[in-house]
Every structure is written in structure tokens, then in C-alpha cells.
Amino acid sequence: MKGHGGGRIFLLPLGTLEPALLEGILEDVKAVIPLPLTLLDAQPHPDYAGEPAGRQYDSTPILKEVLRMAPADALRIVGVTEADLFMHVLSFIFGRAQLGGKAAVVSLARLRPEFYGETPDGKRVAERAAKEIIHELGHTFGLVHCDLPECVMYLANVLRQIDRKSREFCGPCRERLDAALSAACEY
């Protein structure tokens, strides 16, 4: 990679999120993605995307809003929210990204043990969130789902699949990511 050409990855909190949780997520993502990572000021909770029952939020308008809020020097931007997300074909999602695009969004709602009636565990939430953010960033750099369950690009439909996989890319996915990062960062 010749350099990052001023491009940065931004993490955008949507709503009130614990500072310690955000710091844990940032450290885990920085360990895997070799680009500058910056935490933006929190924006309001995405109430505009809520469904009438008020329990879930449509990821499509949130993703569009995250993209709209991207700073000029953003190589990528990831919104992070407590909102329980869905998309028109799935009743819930952990995250969503523009394949080969600039923006992604990740929900913490179903990553929290307390969502399932278990004891809260901030460290576990940070680990799961980092895996999901890294996964969605992989999509923004053009990576698709991997068949290896330990690869961060493995499709996770249930929490145990997130817990089982690593935050790291397998060899072939890492090569694809590195090539995409080089192409994106050359100016």
C-alpha cells in the first residue's frame, strides 16, 4: 500500500453509546484494518427509520443518512446504533453495507447478551461489534461472504456464528482486502 492518501475510516455513533464500548470497538478494528480510524460526534438515534410498532428500524434510510454524513475525507464510514435493524427481505440484521461502496451500519441491539435475557457483558458486545464492523467494512471494499466459519467474512445469521468466527480475515480474504485497500488508497 503506498499510503492512505488522506482517506480515513469514520465510526459514527447514532444515539447515545457508552464511551468505553466505543473505545473497545475502535481498538479491535484498528488492530485488523490498517487505516486511520476516527470516532465522530454522536448523532441522534435514528427515530426517522422506526416502524409503527416502534421495535425495529429500517436499515435502508439509516444507511443513506450515514452516507450523507460522511466527511469529505472519508474513505469509509460506519454508523453504529442501538436500534434493532431489519431490511425488506430479512426480519433482522446485525449489519449492512454497500458492497463496494462507502457506507455501512451495525446494530448493537442483538449483539447484547441482555437482548436474550442474559447478563450484560460490555467486553463481549465490543468484540461482537468489532467483528461486525470489520465484516461490513470488508463488504465496502468489495469482499463477499466466505465459506470458512472462522473468517470474519463468514455470513453470521445467529449470534453463535459471530462468537465462533475470528475478527481476522482468512488468507484469501486478506489478500483481496489488501488489494482493495491498495487500490482505494492510491492517489
Sign for the CA dihedral angle at 15, 21, 26, 29 comes to negative
CA triple 106-111-114, angle to 5 deg:
140
136 annotated active-site: yes
Residue 33 CB: number of other CB atoms within 10 A?
19
**Residue 7 to residue 26: CA distance in whole angstroms:** 17
Exposed / middle / buried, residue 51 (Cβ in 10 Å: 0-12, 13-18, 19+): exposed
| The three cell numbers locating residue 32 | 485488523
Q: How confident is the model at residue 88 (pLDDT cuts 50, 70, 90)?
A: confident
Q: Picking from 38-52, 56-70, 131-145, 173-187, which range would have the lowest pLDDT averaged per residue?
A: 173-187
CA triple 100-94-78, angle to 5 deg:
45
Q: List the catalytic residue out of 65, 127, 132, 136.
A: 136
Question: What pLDDT sits at residue 4?
Answer: 43
The per-residue pLDDT for range 97-121, each reduced to its tens digit, is: 999 999 999 999 999 999 999 999 9
CATH number of 8-185: 3.40.390.10
Report the predicted TM-score, pTM, of the whole model to 2 decimal places: 0.94
Boundaries of every domain in the chain: 8-185
The per-residue pLDDT for range 125-181, each reduced to its tens digit, is: 999 999 999 999 999 999 999 999 999 999 999 999 999 999 999 999 999 999 999
